[in-house]
Amino acid sequence: MSLFDKLEFYSSNTAVVDEDFKTYSYKNLLILADELGKRVGRRKIIFLICENSYEFLLCYVGLIRARAVIFLINNSIHRKKLEYLVKHYKPKYVLTPIQKHQLKIKFKEVFNLNNKYKLFETNFKNDQPIYNELALLMSTSGSTGSPKFVKLSYSNLLDNAKKIAGYLKIQSKDRPITTMQPSYSYGLSIINSHLIKGASIIMTERSLLEKKFWNIFKKKGATTFGGVPFIFEILKKLKFGNMELPYLKYITQAGGKINENLLNEFIEISKKKKIKFYVMYGQTEASPRMSILEWKSIERKIGSIGKPLTGGKFFIYDNKNKLIKKKNSIGELVYTGKNIMLGYAENIKDLQKGNSGNKKLFTGDLAKRDKDGFYYITGRKSRYIKILGSRLSLDEIEQQVKTIGFECVCMGKEDSLQVFITNSNKKKFLENYFSKNFSINKTNLSINIVSKIPKNQDGKILYSKLKNIVIKGHA
């Protein structure tokens, strides 16, 4: 069974409310979705550029139902990076919002959807076999243009959507509003788990900082939304606690560990508003959610990611990959469950491979388990950080910056990237580069000038010495 095989059951329900207050039924959505699916065909590779709109959702549903092989692409990706990925994976089609179509590669336009999305057929000749259960490919590196994608199956997506819908008791009368891009696995998960229950999704590209977002939220009666830690920082500045939102039932938080003071504040706001607040944990590799902290336990287990979803299990391993059974001992968090990915794709040949055989997902997060079986994230094992909920590889960023002629070292923590370079006159240039190529703004970026990059005799970078050798006045 595929993710959206039973949507006809909700034909008379409203599927989407857009930011212009237009409503679209499941029946009308499926008519156009299936028309698009027939044009693309089964098992054809397609790049789908994402945005929070009715037309995107229609495309996504149609392609899943047609069993096309979908690469979900962040809509802020730079044109050259998109062109690189297109040449690297040789899709049969590219489906893009009209305003985003900037590719210099010449393709044939074959379909126009409401003058909002266009379907282009490429001239690539590709007879590459594709694994039958491969449904979706998602990047873990935001808009960096990395060729590494997570491979998710139809059963991965359906299993996770059903589990989330069950825990949150999602009903057809629910009405989530989008706050994250669907190319981000958490944002897509909210869409999946509500669609399979026939709910109405308010699709908007508006930011929380725009008045129109809150106008839509109130007038269309949003019942829920999700957010990464940065979103809750914005909500605090907007005095969310003082807002009158009578239809709001619950909020979910994932995409990184939230500051404990901020979490406490939103727990109090939720109690005052009589809404439920859930903390969740996930990764794209797990389709994406793995655990939930029920709202009833959130005060008693502050800072916890809760317990694994039904059917999933957590384990903690030491640095020798041996199981740690002792309570409150820190090690790497490892997960098992039906929602674990098929593996990674780094080139077109990887699309023919089935399950990699790995039944365990080593998350790279350090964690501990308390006496009641609740889990807590304590740090990161490897060199990944999350900026506004999007996971970035520090190693990949370093490599990309080196390609434009800079010796660069990156460090960071939640929502903060520190870059160390030796070119003192290129600071402004790099700020613009990071904004344009990685969608990292100045508030999340610190560029530091050092006289040289400290290394040991084996040529390995001495990260611990970097902060001590920053040239004053250039921090």
Where is pLDDT greater, at 384 or 26?
26
Residue with tokens 């389709």, as numbered in its chain:
287
142 close to 438: Cβ distance less than 8 angstroms: yes
Q: What is the pLDDT of residue 332?
A: 95
Residue 452 confidence (pLDDT) = 86
Q: How far apart are CA 136 and CA 61, in angstroms?
A: 12
- Give me 56's structure tokens: 């995107």
pLDDT for 113: 93
Percentage of residues in the chain with pLDDT exceeding 90?
A: 70
DSSP per position, 310-342: TT-EEEEE-TTS-B--STT--EEEEEESTT--S
Query: Left (φ > 0), alpha (ψ -120 to 50) or beta: where does 413 sit?
Result: beta
Query: Can you give the pLDDT at residue 428?
Result: 87
Question: Each residue of 103-154: pLDDT tens digit?
Answer: 777 789 999 999 999 999 999 988 889 999 999 999 987 777 789 999 999 9
pLDDT computed for residue 353 by the predictor: 93
For residue 439, is pLDDT > 90? no
Number of H helices, E strands in the chain: 11, 25
**Across-strand partners of 202?**
17, 177
Other CB atoms within a 10 A radius of the CB of residue 108 amount to 10
Return the pLDDT at 390.
78
- Going edge to edge, which strands form the sheet with 14-18? 23-25, 14-18, 201-203
Measured CA to CA, the distance from residue 241 to residue 314 in angstroms comes to 35
Q: What DSSP string describes 421-471? A: ES-GGGHHHHHHHHHHHH---GGGEEEEEBSS--B-TTS-B-HHHHGGGBP
Residue 469 has pLDDT above 60, yes or no: yes
DSSP code of residue 177:
B
* In the predicted structure, residue 468 carries a pLDDT above the cut 90: no
Starting from the edge strand earliest in sequence, which strands make up the sheet with 134-139, in order? 108-113, 117-121, 93-97, 45-49, 69-73, 134-139, 149-153, 343-345
Q: What span, in angstroms and rounded, lies between the C-alpha atoms of 312 and 123?
A: 43
167 pLDDT band, cuts 50/70/90, is very high
> Is residue 187 packed enough to be buried (19+ CB in 10 Å), middle (13-18) or exposed (0-12)?
buried
Strands (E), 158-283: 201-203, 224-227, 250-253, 276-282
**What is the C-alpha separation between 262 and 308, in angstroms, rounded?**
24
Q: Is the pLDDT of residue 473 over 60?
A: no
- What 3-state DSSP class applies to 200? coil
Given a contact cutoff of 8 angstroms between Cβ atoms, the answer to whether 117 and 95 are in contact is yes
Neighbouring C-beta atoms of residue 174, cutoff 10 Å: 22
Q: How many CB atoms lie within 10 A of CB 361?
A: 19
Cα of 422 vs its chain's centroid, Å: 33
d(CA 216, CA 203): 10
The pTM of the full predicted model, rounded to 2 decimals, is 0.85
Quickly state the pLDDT bin for 388 (edges 50, 70, 90): confident
Q: Is residue 436 within 8 Å of 77, Cβ to Cβ?
A: no
Among 205-219, 240-254, 438-452, the minimum mean pLDDT is found in: 438-452
Lowest mean pLDDT among 52-61, 79-88, 188-197, 238-247: 79-88
Phi-psi region of 439 (alpha: psi -120 to 50; beta: other; left: phi over 0): left
- For the cut 90, the answer to whether the pLDDT of residue 442 exceeds it is no
DSSP string for 264-294? HHHHHHHHHHT-EEEEEEE-GGGSSEEEEE-
Whole-number pLDDT of residue 395: 78
